Amino acid sequence: MKKILIIVAVILVIIIGLNMMKSGKVNTLKDAKLQMQKSVSESDKVIPVKILVVSANSFTAELKNVGTIKAKEDYVLSAKANGQITYLNAEIGSRIGAGSVVAMIEPDMADATLKQAQANFELVNSNYKRQMNLAQQKLVSDQQLEAAMTQYKVAESSLRLARINYNNSRIASPINGEIAEKYTSLYETISAGRPVVRVVNNNRLEVAVGVNEKNISRIKKGNEVYVRFSSYAGLVITANIKNIGMQGNQDTKTFPVIVQFNNQNGQIKGGMIAQVNIKLDTYLDAIVIPFYLLEQANNGYYVYVEQDGFAQSRKVEIGEIQGDQVHITAGLVTGDHLIIDGYKYVSDGAKVNIEQ
């Protein structure tokens, strides 16, 4: 009896296993069928896209740099004599004319010395002239004439030195401008070489930028430059390149380029940061597209275009990059349907539908 029960149990296990295998086979067939239907569905899928009809337009390449504005005429005036400042007319921001005295260093002594030297020179000069007249009449000896000449030369040198000391006691502005900085105060005792004031003329400004070796050969004196300022949104000043350095900077590997422009209304100040765009080349019939549309592959860049309802990858060659725009030099022609929206979801040969 026990053996019969064991045999029945084995048979039942076999039957159940066969049923499970049969059920699994059916499920596998069902999965394969669903996968096939899915593949067919994917191949029939149409991806909505938006396009831009490619056209050719004028395109100007610019070289962007940043620099600090400074006045073309900018002078730090220093003391040329030792002593106490007894006169100081230098309020920051005040206007001053060329030749105007801004400070004096003990001028009384220099004035007195100059007057004494002037008087002595006039006396010696008169005596020397009289001695020359007498010498022509053979009324004085050569030794007397030579002594008068020596006195004249000494008096002349003393007068010249007195004038130098007189000028050194006064600090005058060499330009029309305004006081930008003041480094000392009234009645302070200073030594020669000590800075006193800084005078600038903001009517004519300049900015220096560095241009690398790749681009330095593309620019020349007189090139048009556009200067912008973060402090004045929308303000664009048209300037020109004044000078180009002949020696590159060993640290930055750039060449100095000086840009100058007129500060017509005086709103631009020295020390401001400026964005300097140097005009390079202008292409009259250029194809320019947004840079973000470019896809990168091992062999270069490509974009997607729509043709006859299908997406098509198109290899392109790029030229100048200007901000978020790039100049396409090969690979696209006018009239091409460039995919600008949905390009991330298409592949070569995918069906697409153009949406407005």
* Residue with more model confidence, 33 or 232: 232
pLDDT band at 61 (very low <50, low <70, confident <90, very high): confident
Distance CA 207, CA 219 (A): 16
Mind listing the domains of the chain with CATH numbers? 47-59+284-354 (2.40.420.20), 64-69+202-281 (2.40.30.170), 78-196 (1.10.287.470)
β-pairing, 57-78 with 273-290?
antiparallel
In sequence order, the 6+-apart residues with CB closer than 8 A to the CB of 125 are: 152, 155
Categorize the per-residue pLDDT at 26 as very low, low, confident or very high, splitting at 50, 70 and 90: very low
Q: Which of 172, 193, 191, 163 is nearest to 89 (CA)?
A: 172
Q: What is the pLDDT of residues 94-110, one digit of tens each?
A: 999 999 999 999 999 99
pLDDT category at 13 given cuts 50, 70, 90 is: very low
Task: Give Dmax over CA atoms of the chain in angstroms.
Answer: 178
Per-residue pLDDT of 294-314, as tens digits, reads 888 888 898 888 888 898 988
The yes-or-no verdict on residue 75 having pLDDT over 90 is yes
pLDDT digit string, tens, across residues 280-293: 878 888 888 999 88
Q: Determine the pLDDT at residue 44.
A: 63
Counting Cα atoms < 13 Å in the Cβ hemisphere of 181 gives: 11
Mean per-residue pLDDT, 267-280: 90
Contact 209, 228 (CB under 8 A): no
The model carries a pTM of 0.62
Which tokens is 321 given?
A: 């990059």
Partners of 326 in the beta sheet? 289, 321
* More confident call, 20 vs 251: 251
